[in-house]
Every structure is written in C-alpha cells, then in structure tokens.
Structure 1
Amino acid sequence: MGMGRRPGERQQELWIATSRVASAPGHIFYDKLNGFLDEAGFDAFVEELCEPFYKQAGRRSIPPGRYFCMLLIGYFEGIDSQRGIAWRCSDSLSLRRFLFLATDEDVPDHSSLTRVRNRLPLEVHEKVFEFVLEVARKKKLLKDGNLCVGVDATTLEANAAMKTIVRRDTGESWPEYVRRLMIEEGVIDEDDDPTDEELRRFDKDRSKWGKKKVSNEEWASPTDPDSRILKMKDGRTHLAYKGEHTVDLDSELILAADVHHGTDSDTATIIESIATAQRHVAAAGSEAAINEVAADKGYHSNTVLVDCQEAGATSCTVIFWG
C-alpha cells in the first residue's frame, strides 16, 4: 500500500453531490437519547410550551427543541459557555445529526442561543427539566419508593469583572476609591490625576500592609448586582454564585440544580434544595419521597437535622461525612 500524502492548498469545488458529502455513523449515546426524546414527543412539548413567548410573524427562530438539545450537549460535553457549545456542534457531524441539521443548515450561533435564553423565562426551563425527569421515570431510571439523595455545592464565576465593582454608599468605582485614599493619606494633592500604574502600585502596597479589604456590604457589581465577592477554590477573588445540586444516589439523576448567592451558607440552602428536588420528582409523576440525605460536614447543624425531619411525611435521615 502506498503512503497517502496530505494535499496542500486547493480550490474547493463549487458544486458537490449530496452523496459525496462526508457523513458520520453517529454517536450511540446521542442516537439513543434522540430515540427516547422522540418517543416522548419532546419537540412537540417544548414548542407548545414556548409558543406564547414568540410572535406569529417575523423571521423564524431556532426551534425550541434544538435549543434545549444544545444545552444538553453543553452539559454532557462539559462545556460551560454558549460560544463553546456552538463551536462543538459545528465541529461534530454526529452532533449535527443529533440536532437534526440538514447538510445546508448552519449550527445556531452563540448569540442566537443568548437571545433565546433571554426570551424564555426560568419557569420554561424548569418545565423542560421536569419533562426529562418524567422520561427517566417512564424508563424506570427514577424509581418509586424512598430516595436517598446527595447534596453538594460549588462556586460559579459570575459574568462580571471585579474591576467594575462600585461602592454601595458613594457609587465610586475602584480607581476613584483608590484615588480618594491617596488624597486622604497625603500621597497626592486633590488636583493631581494619578496614572493607572500609580493607582495599581498604591493599591498593591495597601495589600502588603493588610489594608486592602473588599466586602459585599460595601461593594457591588453594577452589571450583576446579584453576584457576590467570593474567594474561589483556587484562591482567586471573584464575583461568583453558589451552585447546589441534589442528586439521586441510586440512579445518579440530577433532581435539582439551584443557584444561590455566593455568600449563602450550606446550612441555609440545603432545605430549599431538598424541597425543590422533591417538587421536581412529584412533577415528573413519581410518588417517591426523599427520606435520606447525604452531605458533607459543611451542612451539619442542629437546625438542618430538625428541618429535614419536618420536611417530609416520612422520617428523614441525614448522613454527614468528611
């Protein structure tokens, strides 16, 4: 067999027969998932659910079923940005097949995903989440009876930069605040206009002296006021949220995914997460009840133990580890 060589630059053909277009055998997981969703009438369900949020006239949007399938791809592929989801779908023939994209159709742009996400309220996304849980129940993945769930949380970076924060009392930006401190300490006169480098140097010196402190009581983001200043797990300080998941430990199905303020303690959010998971299970048509909760020691408190006991009709056992 002779060795093939990669061709250099060449002019692309203007016309090409459909039979000659590259194809892929498909991914067994996505093919199976497509079969389950099609059998359950997923596209018809989400189109009926989303129709009130669209006008009858105008340019056609992304089909709602395709939008939600792209979100599923982001979850399964571990992609946390809409730009990344759009690129991944464009790069994969098997994912194009999963999205039912014709040969001459482009993958929806990331900006189109953003417009759809802004158009559809949270309640619509929650209804779709419950629909998928119902499909899982019908396929015997979500079992009836007592459930043992695991609850855990992590920090999520907000789409806002620390350099944009402003003081709650005066509305000063960070550079304006640092300039005022320089004036108060006699480093510069009121008429002086320090350069960005001088501001950074003074701010860095304050950090060395232990004077540089940023609190959520004094500072906020004007672009994302719900975010909180938080120290991330890698040591960086960033505007962030707290994401908390409740998972069925038997099937490993996610029953709830809540987002809280980054400063909310674990003991303050666990009951809400358990209640949300129980509501989703009931909405999926299951009579299962959560009677065991597993969480790490950060969730331990006497109040949590009492509230868990009172949360359901059956007894609730809380298991802490770590």
Structure 2
Amino acid sequence: MMGRQATKRELFVSVSLDEYVPEDHLLRAVDRYLDLSEFRANLADSYSHTGRPSIDPELMARMLIIGYCYGIRSERRLCEEVSMNLAYRWFCRLGLKDKVPDHSSFSKNRHGRFRDRDAFRQLFDSVLRRCMAEGLVQGEGFATDASMIKADARRQRSCPGNVAIDWGDPEQATRPVREYLTALEQANPVSPSPKRISLTDPASTWTAAAGPAIFAYSTNYLIDLKAGLIVDVEASAVNKMAEVEATKIMIDRVEEKFAIKPQRLVGDTNYGVAAMLGWLVDEKRIAPYVPVWDKSEHYDGTFSRTDFFFDAENNRYVCPAGKYLRPPQRGQKKTLLRYRASVYDCRVCDLKPRCCPNMVARKIDRSRQEPARDIARALGKTKEYRQSRRERKKVEMLFAHLKRILKLGQLRLRGPSGAHDEFLLAATAQNLRRMAKRLLPTKQNMQLVIS
C-alpha cells in the first residue's frame, strides 16, 4: 500500500543543534582546535565601553572561516548559507532564531578595526601556535613557493604604464589608489614603469606568465615539511625578485615570532639567484636545497665556465690551456667580478676557436656569492636533495587546494591590503582543515573507542 506523509505542524519544538551535526563533520574538528580568545583580546581596545553592543567579532571570524573552508566567495551568499545550514549555525554559536549579521558588517569591520589591528594576521598566528602545540610543526625543513592569483581588475580599465595618469585628489580616491600612491612615494623613483596599470587596482601586476595577460598578485607560502602546515604567507607583486624578497620577510618573521629557524630551505629555480643563496648561507646559516640559477653553460660547442678551474688562493681562473684570467683592479665593489684573460695569450692559443671565437680574449663573470652557489650545487648532488624535490610538491598541492577547493582563483578585495587579508584567511582555513583531518579520529576509530 502506498504510504502518505502526515503533515504535523507542532507549535513548540525542542531542538538541539548539536544532535544534527555528525561527529565526523569537519566543523566539529575545526571547532575543537579553534580558539578565538586572542582574537577578541586583540580587538578589545577598538570598541567603546559604552553604547549599544556591536556584533561579536568572534561570530564574524567564525563565519569567515566557514566561507574560506568551503569556498563560499560571496559574503552575501555566506550569510544566506549560515542562515539555512544547521552545522554552520552550530559552529557560529547561533540558535535557530538568532539573527545572522548583514553582509555589509564584514566590509565595515574589515576596512576599519580588523585592518587597523591586523586581526587576520593575529588569527593566523594563533592557529599556527595551536598547530605547533599539537606537534605538527617540526621546524627542521621549510619549503617556499609562490602562486599567481588573478586580481579584481579588468584590462578595459587600464592604460599603458608610460602614460601620465591624473589620479585626482588623493583624499577622494579609492583605497587601492591611495595605497598605490603611498607606495610610489616610498619607492625608488628610477624603477622601471610597468607595461600597463590598472585604474581600479594599480598595485596589481600586469603579467602573461600563465597564458593571456591579466592583472594579478602572488601569494607566497612558507611551509613546514613535516605535515605541510603553512608557517607564513605574504602577498607580493608577480615577479621573481618580489617573491624572493617575500621569502626573506617570511623567514625573518617566523624566526622573530616563534623562534624557529629551519636547517634547510627547499625551493625551485626562482630562489636560486645569487643574492638569495648568499643570504641563506652567509647570513641565516640555512642549507639551500635550491637549484642554482645559472646561465653560464654554453651549448654551442665552446667552453663553459665549468671548464675553467678557479684558483681561490690567488683569485684567478685557469683556462684549459693553463693560462690565467684575473679580475680587474678597479670596480671590486660590484656584484659581479669580471675575470679577463690576456689578449696576447688568447691571440696565439690553439684553443681559441673553442674558447672565444667571437672575442679578442675570454671573459668570465663571477658572482660575489659564488661560494654560496657552490654549496647549493654540492647539495644538489646528494640523496637528500632528491628527497627535497619530492617534498616540495607539498607546496604545490596547497596551491592546487587553494584554487580548486577553496575557490580562490580570483581575488574579491582590491589593493595590497585586500590581497593580504584574503591570503591570510585562506591560509588560516587551510591550516585548520589540515590540523583537523590529521588529528581528529576517523569515524571507524571513534566507534572502536566507544565500543
């Protein structure tokens, strides 16, 4: 017999949201390891002691964590989802009849007290401290990498970089424009102009590194290799030198805040420039498991720099014919030292067609950080280096998770501060998810424990 559902309209229903959230739900695990007491204390001085009570900042933080954990990019849609989803209400400490904050509250607080207090950085640090307390951060080895994230800027609202732009009254300009103009005042005036400048987000970088040219920012991750936890994140322009500087900032900041300095750093070729390797080896005493950025190898049949022996004691190169190449007496303060052979030696040398067929005499450029480069080359031949290449994939997996699961392929907020906020919140969500899934017992294990 076909059944029929009987509709019962009960006037009074006693409901506990805790009963409707499964024991193995992700938000239960996140809630177990999330402590927002420091977040509240950091913002305490930003609120008045009198007047009408404001929206609880912890509530907004929990809602933002839900949005970044589940890839809900729109704050308007986030408010709707929290209103309808029982698990979301439980995580946000909201009852069935409690009102969800309006989406405009996030913008007002983000551009005000949250940004003034760098609240999202503090939230990221507090989650990282919990990860460290749970033993998920070893501190022996770090890995670094950068990924390009599209900015909220269109080509149609841009102009060539060599064109003078009238930004009008800075006081009346938008926040991204004010940040850009402030950065221009502090920057080197002789720095090259970008190819194109966005009128809506002028600090974003015009780049074609990943296909058709777009405006974008780089998110830089520094991760611990034990569990793949993000120990720091930094927003930067999309270019190699900016990403290298961002890595230096992150390493210094982690050492200053948490007294952690890795024994080794794993990275790709972008971090194998001489200045970075010299900084790692000479200043930080960190072993660089990084491929050396080297353009000295020749593929046209002529001798490369590796075919010349460097006599460190006498500061000279010895060519395959046994002749010497010495540095100039002047200009020793330059980053690159140019070693030159004698014109008279090269003129009568039988190896000249294989050494310098198009030059009067052979020249070799040597970086002042060449000893650090030699250390990186030596490490590149070890078994540990081959293992580090596999470990480096943990950073790439985090970027894939960031774009495919958390849906952060394009920024919603503009300007460096907007990118800063979004990257910090996304990294915080990734750490919470990683910690929850590693530490929370599985459903089968929980049943065994209960039984």
With the length of structure 1 as denominator, give the TM-score of the two structures.
0.69
* Aligned counterpart, 1:35: 32
Distance 1:160 1:55, change over 3 A: farther
Task: Verify: 1:270 aligned to 2:241, yes or no.
Answer: no
Task: Verify: 1:153 aligned to 2:146, yes or no.
Answer: yes
Larger radius of gyration between Structure 1 and Structure 2? 2
* Aligned counterpart, 1:245: 221
Distance 2:235 2:54 in 1: 28
Letter in 2 for 1:247: I
Paired-residue identity, %: 21
Letter in 1 for 2:21: P
Task: Determine which structure has greater relative contact order: mean sequence separation of CA pairs < 8 Å that are 6+ residues apart, divided by chain length.
Answer: 2
* Aligned counterpart, 1:227: 204
Distance 2:255 2:14 in 1: 46
Distance 1:17 1:230, change over 3 A: farther
Question: Where do residues 207-218 of structure 1 align in structure 2 (5 Å cutoff)?
Answer: 217=194
| TM-aligned CA deviation for residue 250 of structure 1 | 0.7
Distance 1:220 1:17 in 2: 61
Distance 1:241 1:30, change over 3 A: same
| TM-aligned CA deviation for residue 161 of structure 1 | 2.4
* Aligned counterpart, 1:62: 55
Matched-pair contact (CA < 8 Å) for 1:43–1:64: no
Matched-pair contact (CA < 8 Å) for 1:216–1:229: no
Residue of 223, 237, 246 corresponding to 1:261: 237
Matched-pair contact (CA < 8 Å) for 2:236–2:246: no
RMSD value, Cα: 3.4
Question: Where do residues 5-84 of structure 1 align in structure 2 (5 Å cutoff)?
Answer: 16-19=11-14, 24-26=20-22, 28-37=25-34, 42-84=35-77
Distance 1:311 1:70, change over 3 A: farther
With the length of structure 2 as denominator, give the TM-score of the two structures.
0.51
Residue of 270, 280, 300 corresponding to 1:308: 280
Paired positions, count: 264
Listed as ranges, the gaps of 5+ residues in structure 1 are 174-214
1:245 counterpart SS class:
strand
Task: Write the deviation string for residues 114-133 of structure 1: whole angstroms up to 9, x where unpaired.
Answer: 22211112632212211111
Listed as ranges, the gaps of 5+ residues in structure 2 are 168-191, 292-388, 393-451
Distance 1:318 1:82, change over 3 A: farther
Distance 2:217 2:60 in 1: 24
1:70 counterpart SS class:
helix
* Aligned counterpart, 1:111: 104
Matched-pair contact (CA < 8 Å) for 1:275–1:311: no
Letter in 1 for 2:121: E
Residue of 245, 248, 253 corresponding to 1:279: 253
| TM-aligned CA deviation for residue 57 of structure 1 | 4.5
Distance 1:79 1:256, change over 3 A: farther
| TM-aligned CA deviation for residue 241 of structure 1 | 0.9
Letter in 1 for 2:237: H
Distance 1:231 1:2, change over 3 A: farther
